[in-house]
Amino acid sequence: QVQLQESGPGLVKPSETLSLTCAVSGGSISYYYWNWVRQPPGKGLEWIGYIYYNGDTYYNPSLKSRVTISLDTFKSQFSLRLRSVTAADTAVYHCSRSGRAADAFDLWGQGTMVTVSS
């Protein structure tokens, strides 16, 4: 059974870079799209971007200037970097999977809370 698990610092200072990793276990990272989605406390879901197993990426235009998603196929994990964070970036960050670029997300990680505060 494929599982996703997010990890990373729970506290980031304003103007610094948020870095998270999603470990994929129990299955292959190939032939899937790997997404990051965030959810501010008490609010809805916002898609951040995806990376395909071949390294192709696509980011939400609202975050594009600050986001990088990368992939490590050997470690079977993918990562999110969000630069110049502010309090508005405080959220639970989920990683997820889709079978095609235009597809629903059939598998999600539990999520990790990241607070931006000095």
Interacting residues toward other proteins by CB under 8 A: 44-47, 58, 60-62, 94, 96, 98, 101-106, 108-111
Q: Least distance to other proteins from the beta carbon of 83, Å?
A: 19
Contact 25, 75 (CB under 8 A): no
Q: Which residues 6+ apart lie within 8 Å of 94 measured at CB?
A: 6, 36, 37, 38, 39, 108, 109, 110, 111
Nearer to other proteins, 12 or 38 (CB): 38
CB of 35 to other proteins, least distance (A): 8
Query: Closer to other proteins at the Cβ: 45 or 87?
Result: 45
Compute the least distance from the CB of residue 14 to other proteins, in Å: 25
* Maximum CA extent, the chain: 40
Which residue, 16 or 47, has its beta carbon nearer to other proteins?
47
Cα–Cα–Cα angle for 47, 79, 32, nearest 5°? 70
